[in-house]
Chains A and B, each alone.
Chain A
């Protein structure tokens, strides 16, 4: 599903590469943690997978496609097969939970009829049944992140990327979000999560890839934070 082959990424003006000759493969349906200290290059992986940045060297394959060879005007279409969740939720403050999710569908050309059918369903799935018409400021942090997950998942992506999704949440709420991501993973969606929340990694017991200074130092099935 995801294949990095000898990927090196050096940002302009950076003295050393953020990712240094990294090779890793992730199968369909896997749940993978990328862990490591700040600045280790974890988030660069997410950016590479979304084609927000291009690798300096090496190949990034997503869904059997070489990401770097996608024409720039086709990138939006490519991104529709990837859902994304961030630490800061990135919800639209002037839209309700329902509207936030529907917005994501409608800007990629789905009709209102489709959103009326699909959005309540996915909000129910993330545990926000009955709160569809609340605005983000009327929701707790955990609930806002659920809206973000609903938005990422509503299009039934093959891959869900989560960049520190629990970074702004308290431990209990974090666990709930992890349960939700686990549930989404069970539907067959590949989940790639970048985190430095040791608690969560230890509890989930999933594949852990540790990165330090741009290199993979550990790749362990059913791993812990270490």
Chain B
């Protein structure tokens, strides 16, 4: 009976103040979506770092007018360098072939690139990617080198963008969470006021504190969980719409986001939503319901 009573109180409470409930759920959903997106992004960047850093190469592009002597000088300099783990040489033809393969979905673009527009290069894998700077300094003086590019530097630029997005999402999540908390506090306050007579009688006849507080706290928890589920659905739909269809080209660069990771967001968001709402409700009750 008591469980039924408590659940009934929760539903009545949510419905009595339905506009506030909806506002509470929406802000909670947006906040949790942002939190989920930011966590996913974090996991994604981590995964990409693992994936790409292992593959990282330093590319030494050669000038178009490089002589055979210069080329072999560079070649032997690389071979002699103790930092180098592995080296491949890529001719212009191979570069073109790889390029065509990479952009096979855009034949116009491929056509615009002639067989001589791509430089030949040495692809060097270092034993420790961190020693890139030393390696570059050692190679820079040599004749016939057009450019030395460390993929790591490129990747870091990409990761910096991701990090910025992630921080942005976290900030939005935080601001929305603050709004959500204030709404939860207000809703609980209104609920406690509208039930002040019942609460007074319950205290008088000796109803236990948890019994008096449970409906209020659960009200907030239910709203928090509904918000979390909505946020999760939004996250999942965005992932499918944005990454799996609209921006599919990007997924060649991005490592794919595992659906399992997205599913993982459901318990995370629900847990955070429920816990934060419950804590807020409980603290609010300390002030407005002197039990």
A125 in the interface, Cβ–Cβ < 8 Å?
no
- Is B1 in contact with A77, judged by CB distance below 8 angstroms? no
Binds B, one of A11-19, A78-86, A196-204, A213-221: A78-86
Q: Which residue of A lies closest to B291 (CB)?
A: A76
> Which residues of the partner chain B approach A90 to less than 8 Å between Cβ atoms?
197, 200-201, 204
- Is A77 in contact with B206, judged by CB distance below 8 angstroms? yes
> Which residues of the partner chain B approach A76 to less than 8 Å between Cβ atoms?
203, 206-209
- Is A108 in contact with B197, judged by CB distance below 8 angstroms? no
A59 in the interface, Cβ–Cβ < 8 Å?
no
- Is A107 in contact with B202, judged by CB distance below 8 angstroms? yes
A93 in the interface, Cβ–Cβ < 8 Å?
yes
Given contacts A93-B197, A109-B2, contact A84 B209 (CB under 8 A): no
- Is B198 in contact with A80, judged by CB distance below 8 angstroms? no
- Is B206 in contact with A92, judged by CB distance below 8 angstroms? no
B205 in the interface, Cβ–Cβ < 8 Å?
yes
CA distance A151 to B2 in the complex (A): 19
Q: Which residue of A lies closest to B2 (CB)?
A: A109
Q: In chain A, residues 35-94, which have Cβ atoms closer than 8 Å to a Cβ of chain B?
A: 73, 75-80, 82, 84, 90, 92-93
> Which residues of the partner chain A approach B205 to less than 8 Å between Cβ atoms?
79-80, 84, 104, 107-108, 151, 155
> Which residues of the partner chain A approach B204 to less than 8 Å between Cβ atoms?
79, 84, 90
Residue in contact with B1 in the complex, picked from A82, A104, A112, CB distance below 8 Å:
A112
CA distance A75 to B208 in the complex (A): 8
Q: Which residue of B lies closest to A104 (CB)?
A: B205
A27 in the interface, Cβ–Cβ < 8 Å?
no
Interface residue range, chain A: 20 to 34
> Which residues of the partner chain B approach A151 to less than 8 Å between Cβ atoms?
201, 205
Q: In the complex, what's the smallest C-beta–C-beta distance from A98 to chain B, in angstroms?
A: 15
A225 in the interface, Cβ–Cβ < 8 Å?
no
- Is A106 in contact with B5, judged by CB distance below 8 angstroms? yes
> Which residues of the partner chain A approach B208 to less than 8 Å between Cβ atoms?
73, 76-77, 108
The 0/1 profile, CB within 8 Å of A marked 1, for residues 191-220 of chain B is 000000110111111111101100000000
- Is B207 in contact with A108, judged by CB distance below 8 angstroms? yes
A135 in the interface, Cβ–Cβ < 8 Å?
no
CA distance A139 to B66 in the complex (A): 108
CA distance A92 to B211 in the complex (A): 18
Q: Which residue of A lies closest to B208 (CB)?
A: A76
CA distance A141 to B291 in the complex (A): 29
> Which residues of the partner chain A approach B201 to less than 8 Å between Cβ atoms?
90, 92, 103-104, 107, 151
Q: In chain B, residues 1-31, which have Cβ atoms closer than 8 Å to a Cβ of chain A?
A: 1-2, 5
The 0/1 profile, CB within 8 Å of B marked 1, for residues 93-119 of chain A is 100000000011011110110000000
> Which residues of the partner chain B approach A112 to less than 8 Å between Cβ atoms?
1
> Which residues of the partner chain A approach B209 to less than 8 Å between Cβ atoms?
73, 76
- Is A107 in contact with B207, judged by CB distance below 8 angstroms? yes
- Is A92 in contact with B2, judged by CB distance below 8 angstroms? no
- Is A111 in contact with B1, judged by CB distance below 8 angstroms? yes
> Which residues of the partner chain B approach A107 to less than 8 Å between Cβ atoms?
5, 201-202, 205, 207, 211-212
Q: In the complex, what's the smallest C-beta–C-beta distance from B290 to chain A, in angstroms?
A: 10
Q: Which residue of B lies closest to A52 (CB)?
A: B203
- Of the candidates B201, B203, B206, B212, the one having the most CB atoms from chain A within 10 angstroms of its own CB is B206
> Which residues of the partner chain A approach B5 to less than 8 Å between Cβ atoms?
106-107
> Which residues of the partner chain A approach B2 to less than 8 Å between Cβ atoms?
106, 109
Q: Which residue of A lies closest to B207 (CB)?
A: A107
Q: In the complex, what's the smallest C-beta–C-beta distance from B15 to chain A, in angstroms?
A: 15
> Which residues of the partner chain A approach B211 to less than 8 Å between Cβ atoms?
107, 109
> Which residues of the partner chain B approach A109 to less than 8 Å between Cβ atoms?
2, 211
CA distance A101 to B188 in the complex (A): 27
- Is B206 in contact with A106, judged by CB distance below 8 angstroms? no
A82-B206, A90-B201 known, 11 other contacts, Cβ within 8 Å = A77-B208, A79-B205, A80-B205, A90-B200, A90-B204, A92-B201, A106-B5, A107-B211, A109-B211, A112-B1, A151-B205
- Can you list 8 A-B contacts (CB < 8 A)? A77-B208, A80-B206, A82-B206, A103-B198, A103-B201, A106-B5, A108-B207, A108-B208
Chain A residues in contact with chain B, CB under 8 A? 73, 75-80, 82, 84, 90, 92-93, 103-104, 106-109, 111-112, 151, 155
Chain B residues in contact with chain A, CB under 8 A? 1-2, 5, 197-198, 200-209, 211-212
